[in-house]
Chains A and B, each alone.
Chain A
């Protein structure tokens, strides 16, 4: 198409978008577009043509219909905190913001549910329900600013995944805008519901490639009456890994069982100044909640297991305030590591928890092999590690080695019965590796679903489905 024609087409699209959401909610200024050209994933940036902020589900549906008819790519975006480039508008088109849809619609204390619009900040949901003695457990590290719409689309995890599961486990019903402009509702305030395919689960974690979630009803549980936090300190990384497996093997399911290596401990302490021991090689941050007697008993037993696995010290958080500080500090780990080097590339390879020690060892061997600096932290209790490479995107040679190292980490995780990504999503960063996990036939099933719902392929182009699959480093056993 000639540039005149493109310009004319864009001008028309702008008018049509403005007719749906109002002129003040369509931004095509250079600065307005630039600030939505990225998310929290390093090295991905592309300019959208328009940034559109609809006010309600009907407007979202109308915008999608318009985009479907004109073949315009759509990228839905909350606060842009995701870590797999899922909100990067890689082929131009429209960034669809949820910022005007930020209302809590209903807190239903009889059915123990909360119904929200997608732009509500996750932390606001937690605080709102906890004020009523209820609990919404999923707590991704970015919860202070992430939106629930983003959490749903990415199926976010968090620090409490071990005991309470992830976002998916708390979604009862959704309203979804489809590319054809239809609005559908899935599920309900129902514990039992087998009417038809489980579309709720299909859309949760679909990374904005199928439709846009415009409303969600979430399951709540009673707030645990007490909680305790301990820190176990190690001079041997693998001993920490073995402790994790031992705790689980002893039929203990703590809420949180987090692993931090020395690099991470030092970076976090440098930021948070809460007195973390920076002279140890690894720590486990362990939280248990529930009735007081049970918490006391569990924590005592977990501490014993850690000691028997050569923890050099086990410390109990003196107060709830101190425990909260520890959790907050842990949530800052990734960004705190960023202070050490210009570029931090983070992955979230996940293995069965019995394999944690093996995986931790493999990561350090791979880092050594490719001569790259990898710090590891993560949700060890659910096998979800975050090996983070500290590098400099300007150093091309090193970046190639980083890529090779990560390919080998993925390979190893899958070999151990694990997966490429535990909670961050496939997006663009892991798309070339997805077939390693699903196989060609698995990818074909996904393509079929995508084709049925989004035949023109407007939803989040360039994500999840790779043009080319990366060659495997070695054949998996």
Chain B
């Protein structure tokens, strides 16, 4: 519960920190409503729509209403998928408003001691330190290799967790050994005609839990004619922090990443996770007020490309023969790749160029699957409702293979397959892994 003094402080912060021009830029036409998953899923409740949320933020800023737990819940329930942005004719930067509002609310949140410690542990002590993340994931690897999962499932240990987490535990990929991660070279030479030098943004989870997908990405880039550098000292992109109201920590990570990539002097910076890409591409926004960093951030952002986008830019699908055993494939957009990076054509071009693949576009492929970063953990009920509807749409395509372009979406799709009991019949894969499979 918020106390009266909390409310006053929050209101003051809204007045001082919210971008009022951006709040006014929403002219309330309502064109965003049909694109908003939570508006649809709640049976058209304005409170859970982008227009409603902006009105609430403006209401607090104007002093028309006081902040309260209801409003905090409305903002918490937002997936942050940003599907409302490309459909907004006025070009309202909803994501920025949401991040600012969440940051203010987070600052004044009275959390219990355990939650505070957990947040500090995750946001300050774990994610900004790649080596600690490696340790953490290698513990997971140890758990997976030990035979404990079977035991844990058998004795019903996982039933103690919410259903969503229990499902998630089953679908986590097998983590490589720490030694394997540590021994990977930092430079890979191009094959064929050289097109560019690229630096890989390896990502925190991508480079531990999804290590093999990173390796596939590197192979594809080499084949496409790129020298690939993996700059040292790079960190997690900071998205998790930004989306959870820890903006200052996110800025610090942005500065460190910019520094790490400047040293590589690459033509492009490549990501293979839509969620990371969408945060990296906003470094210029979050550092806009810092004279020393603004220009450097702009240069960083101008070099950023998703793996699909660079492959298509270099005509990879025309210069390489891609072939797979006959199967039906569908693609689930990563919201952030689509709505923020504006990359949605390229993955489809690549998939449709694979021989043996029957590509079926899924109805609503451009709407969120419910993963949304850590949303499926903090808002399990809504996440599962969205996922169940998504799996219904998947079913209609009769696809054997669901392709995604972001680790969160990938795990969510795997969890969805598990939920509908299709494990073994339907698989979910990252586009880089599928393309490499089609090449070999």
Contact = CB atoms under 8 A, between A and B. Distances in A.
A93 to B, nearest CB: 18
Contacts of B55: 34-35, 37-38
B30 A338 contact: no
Contacts of B34: 121, 144-145
Interface stretch (A64-72, A126-134, A329-337, A355-363): A329-337
A35 B52 contact: yes
A30 B66 contact: yes
Contacts of B89: 268, 271, 332-336, 338-339
A31 interface: yes
B47 A81 contact: no
Given A35-B47, A35-B52, A35-B56, A144 B71 contact: no
Interface in B208-242: none
B64 interface: yes
A336 B86 CA distance: 12
A30 B65 contact: yes
Interface string B35-48: 00000000111110
Nearest to B86: A271
- What is the size category of the interface that chain A forms with chain B? 35 or more
B102 to A, nearest CB: 16
Contacts of A39: 28
Interface in A22-51: 29-32, 34-40, 42, 45, 47
Interface in A258-284: 268, 270-271
Interface in A320-334: 332-334
Contacts of A144: 31, 34
Contacts of B66: 30
Nearest to B66: A30
A40 B52 CA distance: 12
A142 interface: yes
A79 interface: yes
B91 A339 contact: yes
A364 interface: no
Interface in B80-117: 88-91
B25 to A, nearest CB: 7
Contacts of B28: 38-40, 42, 80
A343 interface: yes
Contacts of A42: 27-28
B70 interface: yes
Contact of B90 (A35, A38, A102, A335): A335
B46 A80 contact: yes
B433 interface: no
Contacts of A442: none
A334 B47 contact: no
B68 interface: yes
Residue from B44, B55, B88 whose CB has the most chain A CB atoms within 10 Å: B44
B46 A338 contact: no
Residue from B43, B46, B64 with most neighbouring chain A CB atoms (10 Å): B46
A141 B51 CA distance: 18
28 contacts: A30-B65, A30-B66, A30-B68, A30-B71, A32-B47, A32-B70, A34-B59, A34-B65, A35-B46, A35-B49, A35-B51, A35-B55, A36-B46, A40-B30, A42-B27, A79-B30, A79-B44, A81-B30, A102-B44, A142-B31, A144-B31, A145-B31, A145-B34, A146-B30, A333-B89, A334-B27, A335-B88, A336-B90
Given A80-B30, A334-B27, A335-B89, 13 more contacts: A30-B65, A35-B46, A35-B47, A38-B28, A40-B30, A79-B44, A99-B44, A142-B30, A145-B33, A146-B30, A334-B89, A339-B91, A343-B27
Query: Top 10 closest A-B pairs, CB basis?
Result: A335-B89, A332-B89, A338-B90, A35-B52, A336-B89, A338-B27, A35-B46, A31-B70, A99-B44, A342-B24
